[in-house]
Chains A and B, each alone.
Chain A
Amino acid sequence: MSNIHITVEFGGGAELLFDNKKAHPVTLPAKEKHWIIKDLLTWIKDNLLKERPELFLQDESVRPGILVLINDTDWELMDTVNYVIQENDRILFISTLHGG
């Protein structure tokens, strides 16, 4: 297993928790087992999340109201937290939790 290079993106206001940056190129360090989204969330919490983790994460997933798109596809179609991350994947988190 080698390192995996992906892009993690934030929208809908979620970027405010991440230094107001919408796109983050990320290199996930090689490990024995596959990287799944659940692992990525822990990694994001430890490495990218600057403040207020409870606004992004809840239990072992994202806070309800945060949509996740993997390569422009709803993660609900891709096994949500158990999706196995591939090289060059683009993972987008969009918050819906704000006024309309």
Chain B
Amino acid sequence: MPPCSTKCGKNAILKRPKTGDVLCKECFFEAFENEIHFTITRAKLFKPNSKVAIAASGGKDSTVLAYVLKLLNQKYDYKLDLTLLSIDEGITGYRDDSLETVKQNRDDYEMPLKIMSYKDLYGWTMDEIVAEIGRKNNCTFCGVFRRQALDRGAVLLKVDYLATGHNADDIAETVLMNILRGDLARLSRCSAIITDSGDGIPRVKPLKYTYEKEIVMYAYFRKLVYFSTECVFAPNAYRGHARVLLKDLEKIDPSVIMNIIQSGESLKINESANMPTLRKCTRCGYVSSQEVCKACVLLEGLNKGLPKLGIGKSSKVKKFIQEKNCKTDCLCNNK
């Protein structure tokens, strides 16, 4: 066993993919935590005396995020008021189990917890949605609904920030995905560490530069409890392609992850490209790049037995809305 790179005298227990350093347990904890602290302070992620909701799923990223934010909050006196926010999509065998883990996080970290459910917000669980639409495009529904659910939860909790556990691997995957799909709008936004959804509660990603492998190692050596099963609907997700590619690339050279993120940050979209502007949904008032937000379109499709509505080009939806002109029997009046 080689000695720790910091020359502290102890034996190293891991090799960091991010830097290639070999570190002992304690030095690894310190490096891991300090880098997140540095990410937070350099990007000025939080103002002191703010209230922060931590999006918590019970999974490895959000568990580590909650643990580290609490630790750094105390160690460096950020003066933050932390709370956990969890979304119940209604996926049997996946979400109901992971919510038990979030409840444990609530107890272990002594933070309040709020749970918002798709059933309450939209009238549909993911199980019901998948039964209606089949096994394709499930993530489209879930992702859109969850994003909105988190924002609504954040508003209810009256927080100043919403922190999510997206890690370096996630962001690199997203950059690759958006390139593969030619999604310019998302490509220009996806690597930002702070994103504003327009209603005033910014989302922050403190783990943006943290490698997934290190998160798992940290959780293991700190003995943090997390839920680790793949969502039952995930095997069909498009993201899987980007993930496989990224993992194979990482094996050859781990710095590829940071490089992709940097490429994503530095991308400038050609001025002649057609980019949407942000406005408010005419139905529910939520922020949207189209006249009717994606959540309303998806819900309308579900409620009218037209599951494909909202999948694919927005121009087709616009045409549909113009033809139908349904103001009175629209079922998505979510305020």
Say yes or no: is A97 at the interface (Cβ < 8 Å to chain B): yes
Q: Given A65-B247, A74-B217 in contact, is the A100-B165 Cβ separation under 8 Å?
A: yes
> What residue in chain B is nearest A59 (Cβ atoms)?
B251
Residue of chain A at shortest CB distance from B14: A74
Expressed in whole angstroms, the Cα–Cα distance for A12 and B217 within the complex equals 11
Mask: chain B, 236-247; 1 = CB below 8 Å from A; 0 = not: 000000010001
Of the stretches B55-63, B152-160, B282-290, the one at the interface is B55-63
Q: Give CA–CA (A12, B57) in the complex, Å.
A: 15
Q: What A residues does B165 contact at CB under 8 A?
A: 100
Contact B220 A96 (CB under 8 A): no
- Residue contact A13 to B247, C-beta cutoff 8 Å: no
B2 close to A (CB within 8 Å): yes
A72 within 8 A of B: yes
How many interface residues does chain A have, given as a range? 20 to 34
CA distance A99 to B165 in the complex (A): 10
Contact A100 B229 (CB under 8 A): no
A100 lies within 8 A of B57 (CB): yes
| Segment of B44-52, B208-216, B259-267 engaged in the interface with chain A | B208-216
A98 within 8 A of B: yes
Q: Which of A20-77 touch B at CB < 8 Å? A: 63-65, 67, 69, 72-74, 76-77
Q: Counting CB contacts under 8 A, is B228 at the interface?
A: yes
Q: How far is the CB of A56 from chain B (nearest CB, A)?
A: 14
Q: Are A67 and B12 in contact (CB under 8 A)?
A: no
State whether the Cβ of B170 lies closer than 8 Å to any Cβ in chain A.
yes
Residues A99 and B1 in contact, CB atoms below 8 Å apart? no
B59 touches A98 (CB 8 A): yes
Q: Decide yes or no whether B13 CB sits under 8 A from chain A.
A: yes
Minimum distance in angstroms from B52 CB to a CB of chain A: 18
In the complex, 21 of the A-B residue pairs with CB atoms within 8 angstroms, ordered by the A residue number, are: A64-B248, A67-B213, A67-B216, A69-B220, A72-B221, A74-B13, A74-B217, A77-B12, A77-B14, A95-B228, A96-B60, A96-B212, A98-B228, A98-B230, A98-B231, A99-B230, A100-B57, A100-B60, A100-B62, A100-B167, A100-B212
Closest 9 CB pairs of A and B: A100-B61, A74-B14, A64-B247, A76-B15, A13-B228, A100-B59, A98-B230, A12-B228, A96-B216
**Additional 10 contacts, C-beta under 8 A, given A16-B229, A78-B1:** A64-B248, A67-B213, A72-B221, A73-B12, A94-B216, A96-B216, A97-B243, A99-B59, A100-B59, A100-B165
Q: Which residues of A does B touch, CB under 8 Å?
A: 11-13, 16, 63-65, 67, 69, 72-74, 76-78, 94-100
Q: Which B residues are within 8 Å of any A CB, using their own CB?
A: 1-2, 12-15, 22, 57, 59-62, 165-167, 170, 212-213, 215-217, 220-221, 228-231, 234, 243, 247-248, 250-251
